[in-house]
Structure 1
Amino acid sequence: MRRWLRSWLFAGSLRRFLLLWLLGGLALVLLLATALLAGWQQRALAQAQDQQLAAALGTLAAQVQQAGTPLPTAPPEPGVPSYRISAMSGDWLVGDATLVPCPWRSALVPGGAAEFYIGERQGRLMRVAAAVRLRPGDSGAQPVLLQTAAPWVERLPGPAALWASGLAPLYAAAAALALLITSGVVLAMRWLGRVQQALDAPAEHLARYDGPRELQPVVERVQQFYAQQHHWVDEQRRFLADASHQLRTPMAVLRTQLQSAIAGDTPPAEVLPQMLHTVDRATGLVNQLLSLTKLEQLKRRGELKTIDVRAVALEAVLELSPLIAAKRIDFALDEAPLWAPADPTMLGELVRNLLANAIHHAPPGGRVGIVLREGAQQLELIVWDEGPGIADALRPRLFHPFAASQGGVGLGLSICRQIAESMGASAELYNRTAHGEVIGVDAVVAWGQGP
């Protein structure tokens, strides 16, 4: 029952909840005020009735106690409809014979105070005042039982009496307040409708929002989420268009090479290495697309732990060691330990991309290396080579998707920067110079440590 009541009150319409809560509270206060007023009136009526019965009993006793006078045959007071005089045995003498004699008359003391109780008359509840008085007679004073009675229901205030005693203005004020509450809730719900309008059109500028100030942060969050999702969808749409174009090119080349080999226009010994190169190019593009998928998972997870960067770098070096050996490159890895917040899988992908790029651009027999260092303001992972450097015209777009300098598919550096940013780091490329000449390139991944 309690669970059903909670679900009925708090689930569904806010309008219903507010109306039930406010109007229900008003109704409860109104009922409480009515009950208090009814109780106060009932108490006043009860006291007045008891006083009237006691006064009538006193008048009746005065008549009974007068020597030589007959017993009264009429009610002692006009407001007392019923009275009875009985012998102590309960036998009726005069008055209303249908009024039941007092059941505990033997306990009443002659001349004592009146006793009040609930009696009965023809199946109807009566408020009865009873007393024992001595009646003079020829054989001496004899005790008699005197009773005065009035309907018990007269002690309860009727609706007309309650309404006249103050309920009319109270209920009028409650009706006005209920109308005010209802109109307030309706206006509030219309005001909340501004929030719905803002949420239905999240592209609208926040300055146009005129709903409740308390809900403005919700609208701001929704608009920010909408902008982020819209930007992300646009980026993915552009990326997929570029990726499909890039994949279409090697597939078209591979098809041409296959047709040439089938037709016998090109000897197999010449066309097969070309086809292998085309497959490698397409495979590299697919692998980097998979890396982007992993990167999106990392961004959504948002959980980074402090890891050993040197161990990740060493693993990447071992994986690419065949490429290093194939070009007879002199490789150097800094021995200094470095710990930074990162994801080990994606950091490994970043190092492999930067290292593969350095190996690709380094001359045969040249030098490539990785330096790990910790400064006062930041942590740095540097992959350096002795390549030809970066042209100034190419530098601004190197980190854009599908922008490549020489060879490659143009995704590696874009992925590197995205991985770095997802880990709270930056990725940049710098020409290394000596005596005014470019002698290589430094790829720098830096984690800021604050001031």
Structure 2
Amino acid sequence: MHLFSRRRSVRAYLLAWIILPITLLIVVDSFWLYRNTLKSVNAAYDRMLIASVHSIGDLLRIENGELKASLPYAALEIYEASYSSRMIYRITDLDGQFLDGDRDLPIYSGKANKSALYPLLAHIYEDSYNGEPVRVAALFQPVVSNSPRGTALVQVAETQGYRALLARSIFIETLMRQALLLVVIVSITLYVVSRALQPIDALRRQLDQRAADDLSPVAPPMAPRELQPFIRALNGLMTRLQRQLNHQQRFVANASHQLRTPLAVLKTQVQSGLKGDAPAREILGEMSTTVDRATGLANQLLSLAKVEQLRVSGPQEVCDLSMLAREAAVDLSPLIAEKNLDFELDAEKAYVNGHPWMLGELISNLLHNAIRHTPKNGALGIRVHPRPREVELQVWDSGTGIAPDAIHSVFTAFSSVGTSSGGLGLTICHEIVDSMQADISLHNRLDSTGACIGLNARVVFTPSEMPNAS
């Protein structure tokens, strides 16, 4: 139907589906009302026809061997033309010959049922009189005499014009009342629908009056229960857009702030090389270090942006955390070998829902941070352990640990622990864990005497079912 295929307003949709069925019901009811009214009018007037035909039948008698019909003047008045309808009668004698009344009224073609229990019952039927439809009552009246010779046929007919006129009059009056009822229903429906849609109009006005950068949750007053899911979904969208906007603003601020320093250093080094303040090889080495630092910072900024992008629209799949841990260890093995570190990998099969790149980036950043803070010839490792209700990932090192008051601040972008800048590595880890609804925490590793022997980064995931072999 067009109501479903075309975009229409809610008001038009509600009005159509409320008023149209009621209108159709009124039309159908009016049709049946007219039929029932006509039936009731016929029943009432048919009783008069039956009474008339019996009255005439009671006046028949036999005189001198002949059938006589002696109708008083008062009885004949109803058979004259009047303003309402016209009534005609006909009497046929014992031999089937016309006796009295109107010859133009067709004779009844039915036969008397002599074996009937009630032979004096009148028969009602419809016929035509001079081209006009009439309703006729026919009666086979037994004639009482010393030697009865049979029955006489008495017919009384009435034109149907007045019956139809009366039925139409009743129908029109009822139809007018139905139309008035429909007008009342339409008015009440318009009022109720308008009142019901007022919260939507209020929500629209509230959104129209907002500033372009206002993404705070909407709270229209007196919102009905049916509108609450839509408002929650809209507020959820506002929250996601606000988070995306905040991320972009942080990205621009971090990029402009952090890239300014290496670029300024690089410019100073170039100027120093042009002036000949130091040997060219020394200047080029310093410039290479500065470029490497700027490149690493740019890669971290791009990784942070990619995490936010995948948080919003990235597909989720079942990932093998142990396999991703092995891949991260292989990728960073040159750094491990450069510091002659003792690396331990204890990874059992464990599956979690997430994006493979994000999980790989999480493990790589945690492992890279552990390598950076572990002294030469030290030890570090990765553990992956599945549990009944969680999957645990640990990346531990043998560095100097972290101050208790700095455990939470290290996840802030470019935070510093001691004299070493934290960069964006742990910030990226925190964003990845938050997007997966997991939990990350840092704990100092202590020996039996309570001395700090390193740092343990622990991430807890919700487990996923093992994927099918296919």
Task: Give the TM bin, normalised by the shorter chain.
Answer: 0.7 to 0.9
CA distance in 1: counterparts of 2:217 and 2:438, whole angstroms: 33
Mapped contact 2:92–2:100 kept (Cα < 8 A): yes
Which residue is 1:272 aligned to?
A: 284
Q: TM-score, normalised by structure 1?
A: 0.78
Q: Within the alignment, does 1:158 sit opposite 2:144 as a pair?
A: no
Q: Which amino acid aligns with 2:341?
A: I
Q: Which runs of 5+ in 2 are unaligned?
A: 80-85, 464-470
Three-state SS of the structure 2 residue aligned to 1:239 is helix
Matched, 1:129 2:143: no
- SS of aligned partner of 2:155: strand
Give the distance between the partners of 1:230 and 1:394, measured in 2 at CA.
28
CA offset at residue 210 of structure 1?
1.6
How far apart in 1 are the matches of 2:301 and 2:143?
A: 121
How far does the alpha carbon of each residue in 1:372-399 deviate from its partner, in whole angstroms, 9 at most, with x for none?
4567986533322233443567544321
Map of 1:424 onto structure 2: 437
1:184 aligns with 2:196: no
Aligned residue in 1 for 2:426: 413
> What CA distance in whole angstroms lies between the structure 1 residues aligned with 2:386 and 2:2?
62
Q: More displaced, 45-54 or 382-391?
A: 382-391
Tell me the residue number matched to 2:42.
46
- SS of the aligned residue for 2:343 comes to strand
> Superposed, which structure 2 residues align to 1:262-411 within 5 Å?
267-300=279-312, 307-334=319-346, 337=348, 339-343=350-354, 344-373=356-385, 379-391=391-403, 395-405=407-417, 410-411=423-424
Q: Does 1:443 align with 2:457?
A: yes
% identity of equivalent residues: 34
Equivalent position of 1:203 in the other structure: 216
**Counterpart of 1:398 in 2: which secondary structure?**
helix
3-state SS, counterpart of residue 376 of structure 2? coil
Q: State the distance in 1 between where 2:437 and 2:357 align.
A: 16
After superposing the two structures, state which structure 1 stretch, 431-440 or 396-405, moved more: 431-440
Structure 2 Cα separation of the partners of residues 65 and 189 of structure 1: 81
Q: Secondary structure at the match of 1:42?
A: helix
In 2 relative to 1, CA 265–92 (structure 1 residues): closer, same or farther, beyond 3 Å?
Answer: farther
CA pair 93-258 structure 1, distance change in 2 beyond 3 A = farther
Q: Is the 8 A contact 2:247 2:308 kept in 1?
A: no
AA at the equivalent of 2:11: R
Instruction: Output the CA distance in 1 between the equivalents of 2:96 and 2:298.
Output: 115
SS in 2 for 1:78: helix
Q: 1:172 to 1:146 in 2, by over 3 A?
A: same
Q: 1:65 to 1:178 in 2, by over 3 A?
A: farther
Tell me how far 1:271 sits from its aligned partner: 3.3
CA contact under 8 A between 1:199 and 1:219: conserved in structure 2? Answer: no
Q: Distance in 2 between matches of 1:47 and 1:241?
A: 94
SS at 1:158's partner residue? Answer: helix
SS across alignment from 1:328: coil
State how far apart, in whole Å, the 2-side matches of 1:377 and 1:57 are.
97
**Structure 1 residue 17, shift from structure 2 partner:** 3.3
Q: Secondary structure at the match of 1:128?
A: strand
SS at match of 2:197: helix
Q: CA–CA distance in 2 between the matches of 1:387 and 1:224? A: 42
Deviations along 1:385-417, one digit per CA (max 9) or x if unpaired, are 233443567544321123355667711110011
Return closer, same or farther for 1:259/1:123 CA change in 2, 3 Å cut-off: farther
Task: Tell me what 2:157 maps to.
Answer: 149
Task: For residue 382 of structure 1, give the secondary structure of its aligned residue in structure 2.
Answer: strand
Q: What letter matches 1:41 in structure 2?
A: T
Deviations 1:162-187, CA, capped at 9 Å, x for gaps: 577x7887776665555444433332
Structure 2 Cα separation of the partners of residues 132 and 378 of structure 1? 101
Q: 1-side partners of 2:13 and 2:136: how far apart? A: 51
2:234 to 222, 239, 249: 222
- 1:234 and 1:91 map into 2 onto residues whose CA distance is 111
Deviation for aligned residue 1:280: 2.2
In structure 2, distance between residues paired with 1:291 and 1:214: 41
Match of 1:19 among 15, 22, 31: 15
Q: Structure 2 length normalisation: TM-score?
A: 0.75
Q: Which amino acid aligns with 2:332?
A: L
Structure 1 pair 73–411 and aligned structure 2 pair: CA distance change class (3 A): same
Give the root-mean-square deviation of aligned CA atoms. Answer: 4.2
Deviation of residue 56 (structure 1)? 2.6
Letter in 2 for 1:421: D
For 2:97 and 2:55, how far apart are their aligned partners in 1?
22
Q: Which amino acid aligns with 1:324?
A: I
Cα deviation code 1:233-275 (max 9, x no counterpart):
1232122221233234434544555566677766542333333
